[in-house]
Amino acid sequence: MTTGLSERQTAKREQIATAARKLFLELGYAGTSMDAVSAEAGVSKQTLYTYFPAKVDLLKAILDAELSQIELDGVLPQPQTLPELRQLLLRFAQRLTRSLLHPDSVALIRLVLGEAFRIPELRNTVRQALPLRALHAIAAIVGRADEAGLINAPDTDLAARMLLGTIMTYVALDGFLNIEPVVPPSDATLERLVDGFLTMVEVKP
């Protein structure tokens, strides 16, 4: 988190996180020491530990930075109509797939998933940073739309899982589990996906 940090402190924190990201991708999480991060970032160990008390905090910051690209709060107003809701969900799906299917992001996801199964302390960090953060973001949109009467989705968690699960098949099958070059789904594909979801939760007369 960068709340309360000065511009200089924020820049220093990002400098350290960038260095750690580079080393994690090159050496793996277990193979990267805090000494190596300190040297790569060009900062003292005291400075490093001031911003990141533990190595897992570095990984969490990197994952948070990846997912900050998909957040839509403040980008679009609260939807008042079904077409506006459709546009909001489409924007979310586009941001999620384009962010997570970027080659650097795919490499990072492969790294953290592989490490998470070997290092217990990482499992909850990965769970909180990746699927749960995206799930909560979609649930918030769906919940507000249900309250506004735009859709019928009283179980917002279930509805959010239905939509996110479909989107994540592209991230998993066409991304970090794919041996071919990664290609994000087209806008037309995402439009059909969102339209299919809205059909399931439409308000029946």
| CATH code (residue 25) | 1.10.10.60
- The parent domain of residue 36 ranges over 7-53
Flag whether 2 is in a domain: no
The total number of structural domains that make up the chain = 2
Query: What is the arithmetic mean of pLDDT over 107-136?
Result: 80
Looking at residues 56-64, what average pLDDT do you find? 85
User: What's the pTM?
Assistant: 0.78
70 and 169 together in one domain: yes
Number of H helices, E strands in the chain: 10, 0
Task: Report how far residue 26's alpha carbon sits from residue 20's, in angstroms, rounded to the nearest whole number.
Answer: 10
Placement of tokens 């789904």 in the chain? 185
**Does residue 23 sit in the same domain as residue 101?**
no
Residue 74 has pLDDT above 50, yes or no: no
Q: Is 28 a domain residue?
A: yes
Q: Is residue 59 part of a domain?
A: no
Kindly tell me if the per-residue pLDDT of 76 is higher than 80.
no
Residue 70 has pLDDT above 80, yes or no: no
H or E element in which residue 166 lies = helix 156-171
Q: What is the pLDDT of residue 32?
A: 93
Question: Which pLDDT score, from 0 to 100, does residue 157 have?
Answer: 95
58 falls within a domain? no
Q: For residues 19 and 115, which has the higher predicted lDDT (pLDDT)?
A: 19
Average pLDDT over residues 56-68: 81
